[in-house]
A and B are shown apart, each in its own frame.
Chain A
């Protein structure tokens, strides 16, 4: 049987941690994207650049930064450790690495879809007595939702493909932190090519599905 228990375990682990990381970044991503699209403040571009950095930096570098931040000897890592939370070399490390690496994609996509919402509609809603929150949830979000879903899909796919940052922050521990990407690398290293090809097939199928959905949504956005 090609789909061994191990294959299932790895796929399920990747999907669930990927999903969790996407859900985790969604509220922050939407909030930040809205700020970027609608508000101006001094040095805004600096923050925008920082948010986008993980997109262009070598993932391994991002991983190293995360390791330094969350390692037990850093203030943050130490503080967390004292409260019984350990990030490094377990599934939470995978979660953090995925979240950080996919965040820029989410923000960029959602920001574009917010920018495409005509600000006049929000202004008119305000003259009709709507509060900022009501405008956001009744006008802005519904008009941008396709971009938001597409952005979330992109972020999710990026999370599944994460390798460099994950391996530094979470290691490559079978059954514990091993994602699809890490497992493929592992199997190839061990000369277990057939196992690697099965996982390869799964990643191609998933990637195809997500990109296709995301593109379909982005195209359909023009027709609303």
Chain B
């Protein structure tokens, strides 16, 4: 894919020049950095002042050659943040809305039933879309886009409108879509954990400029701070393998890559199956002595490797076999006398460990 475009916006100019070829490419950056504008430009919903957009070797836009295909001729599937289902049509009619379009030489190798199976939509096909939950609506929007046989699937923060619990239930569907259908995806998000959970490649943009691109683990810091504390994230994401689970106790043991075992909420999985665990940096407590009589399922000993003070927040790296990033207030750091080299204990509630 080739993406080179300039779009003047109110505060700045969106200026992007990237080529990439990944199954799932994430466009990552804070709100207002021009991510949605970029997707709109690719889909042809927005004027581009100059540049070139090419998908699968097919030029969609080229200011030099005077090409500007209309949205309906671009072969782009677009899932927007709010789903944008047609409210007066049933789920079935929504899903089939684009199913008959020309496919630009690509065979219609995706069957309706396959999509319904993957996204588990079959049992509410005839419901009006106004009676769907947020998660169901997003799955329908996904199915509708996939069944239009696109060359590229654009996903604009499809999980942003959902609350946390629901997010974690929709992510697996997105992973299944990635695995089942050979459609490249461009996934816009400002959530680091979604990048790690889905993307093979990430393009970081800020104020309309690409600041870096590469494999997520190579270029994304575990903490991502922006001027808006609401958007700032400190994430710990670990690859892990399933060891055993106890449904009565509601717990599962997993082994992190570094060899450490931790306890996460109960989930049935095949033995040794791999998974990803996310722990927010805000959900970890630090103690200077080993705590006793505490309900948290995980108490890990470690050493402080680094303390970084950013905008009144302390970002602390603790080496407990793996590096854990914890966010505390500067006040807490002072009260506990935390410093580099100090031995500490990480306290992590079982329920704060989320499987992606």
Contacts and interface: CB of A to CB of B under 8 A. Distances in A.
B317 interface: no
A156 B70 CA distance: 39
A125 B97 CA distance: 8
Nearest to B154: A127
Interface string A49-86: 00000000000000000000000000000000000000
Contacts of B138: none
A19 to B, nearest CB: 27
A143 B129 CA distance: 14
Contacts, number: 60
A129 interface: yes
B86 interface: yes
For this complex, into which size category does the number of interface residues on chain B fall? 20 to 34
Interface in B82-133: 82, 84, 86-88, 97-98, 100-102, 130
Q: Chain A interface mostly helix, strand, loop or mixed?
A: helix
Interface string A192-224: 000000000000000000000000000000001
B86 A139 contact: yes
Contact of B84 (A120, A130, A131): A120
Contacts of A142: 88
Contacts of B98: 127-130
Interface stretch (B73-81, B171-179, B203-211, B346-354): B73-81
Nearest to B77: A127
Contact of A127 (B74, B82, B88): B74
20 contacts: A120-B80, A120-B82, A124-B78, A124-B80, A124-B84, A125-B86, A125-B97, A126-B71, A127-B98, A127-B145, A128-B72, A128-B98, A128-B144, A129-B72, A129-B148, A130-B97, A130-B98, A139-B86, A224-B87, A224-B130
Interface of B: 43-45, 70-74, 76-78, 80, 82, 84, 86-88, 97-98, 100-102, 130, 144-145, 148
